[in-house]
Amino acid sequence: MQLDRTDPAGAIAEAAKRCSNWGRWGSDDVLGTLNFLDEGKRREGAALVRHGRAFSLAQTFDTDGPQRGWRRRTNPVHTMLDTGLDAERGQGFPHGLGGADDVVFMPLQASTQWDGLGHIFDHGMAYNGRRAGDVVTSEGDRVTGIETAAAHLAGRGVLLDVGRALGDGGELPDGFAITVEHLERTIAAQGDSARVGRGDLVCVRTGRLARARREGWGDYAGGPAPGLSFTTAGWLHGTEIAGLATDTWGFEVRPNEFDDAFQPLHQVAIPHIGLFLGEMWDLDALAADCAADGRYDFWLTAAPLPVTGAVGAPVNPIAVK
């Protein structure tokens, strides 16, 4: 796919038409590409557990996180409601019982998270040809809220460590656009366990998070980053994967590949393909283990927190090998 940098609108319209899943599973569908992740695919994923080694793919949720106020997003604020000191001084419970309670305030996309199907629209239209205003109101996403996906995001995970395969020192530079060729070269280098197909949950490591941890957060959450090229839209659609997650804040390359555009691949992937996107996942420990044993597929369970009506939600993905 050749890009005309001066025509993002034309490129988005063409890709949206070519990659649309509208109506594929009926007019009432709310799952999008999660329809590819069936019971057989989950059995395939579960059979990949050989050693029992488990890896959390989540960043921490705390005030030291990556957010710097982009789109009014803040880091989580954790506050105690009852503490050990309260328990020592008496909380009114009988026979010496004491306890602690706490609360957290946070944007649902402050750290490791899934984008739901109500997160992005194209010209006022949401996934499956619905009007955006009929889907997401002041009450939240009344049709494709993230809770509709809560039981589905578990199956065969595949790591494509593009940073290790193609980068300098295991990391890609900001602005590196990962093309289909790059993805295929990574798969070829990693071997058969890295094959990608119908119903898979694909994790793409760029190394951007490793650099942020070494050099400081900086613009990690909202600034330049390596990521998928707009030209991968056809691959995302044609492979019939169920979801794709990266270690970056926005999944696609930043700056974007057009002269005047903001997240054009999101504009195709979510409302047209119906693809679930994960962002700010921590793939480093998993990547090191995969490189050590030469196996790049695993059981992955990554259920979002089922906040009713949310357009995205935190997740603690667990990969088990």
* Mean pLDDT of successive 10-residue stretches along the chain, which has 321 residues: 92 98 98 98 98 97 90 92 95 95 95 98 98 98 98 98 96 98 98 98 98 96 97 98 98 96 97 98 98 98 98 98 98
Q: Where are the alpha helices (DSSP H) in 155-239?
A: 162-166, 180-190, 208-215, 233-238
Fold of 8-70+109-320: Glucose Oxidase; domain 1 (3.50.30)
Three-state DSSP state, 296: coil
The DSSP letter of residue 242 is S
Q: Are 161 and 296 in contact (CB under 8 A)?
A: yes
Number of neighbouring beta carbons within 10 Å of residue 302? 26
Give the residue from 46, 32, 31 showing the smallest Cα distance to 301. 46
Burial of 60 per CB tally in 10 Å (0-12, 13-18, 19+): middle
Tokens linked to 186: 């990574």
Burial of 304 per CB tally in 10 Å (0-12, 13-18, 19+): buried
Domain ranges of the chain: 8-70+109-320, 78-105
Go through 106-127 and write b for each residue having 16 or more CB atoms within 10 A of its CB, e for each that does not. Answer: bbbbbbbbbbbbbbbbbeebbb
Q: Are 206 and 162 in contact (CB under 8 A)?
A: yes
Q: Residue 70: its pLDDT value, please?
A: 81
Q: Residue 71: its pLDDT value, please?
A: 82
Give the residue from 285, 288, 295 showing the smallest Cα distance to 317. 285
| Interval 28-65: pLDDT, tens | 999 999 999 999 999 999 999 999 999 999 999 999 99
Q: Where are the alpha helices (DSSP H) in 216-273?
A: 233-238, 264-268
User: What percent of the residues of the chain are helix, what percent strand, and what percent coil, each to the nearest 5?
Assistant: 30, 20, 45
Contacts with 303 (C-beta within 8 Å, 6 or more apart), sequence order? 149, 150, 151, 153, 154, 315
Q: Are strands 140-141 and 136-137 parallel, antiparallel or unpaired?
A: antiparallel
| Interval 259-313: pLDDT, tens | 999 999 999 999 999 999 999 999 999 999 999 999 999 999 999 999 999 999 9
Three-state DSSP state, 290: helix
DSSP string, 191-207: -GGG---TT-EEEEE-S
Query: CA 29 to CA 32: how far, in whole Å?
Result: 7
Looking up tokens 């992937």 gives: 269
Three-state DSSP state, 213: helix
Query: CA 282 to CA 167: how far, in whole Å?
Result: 17
0.75 surpassed by pTM: yes
Query: CA 146 to CA 141: how far, in whole Å?
Result: 8
DSSP string, 77-99: EEEEEE-HHHHHH--S-GGG---
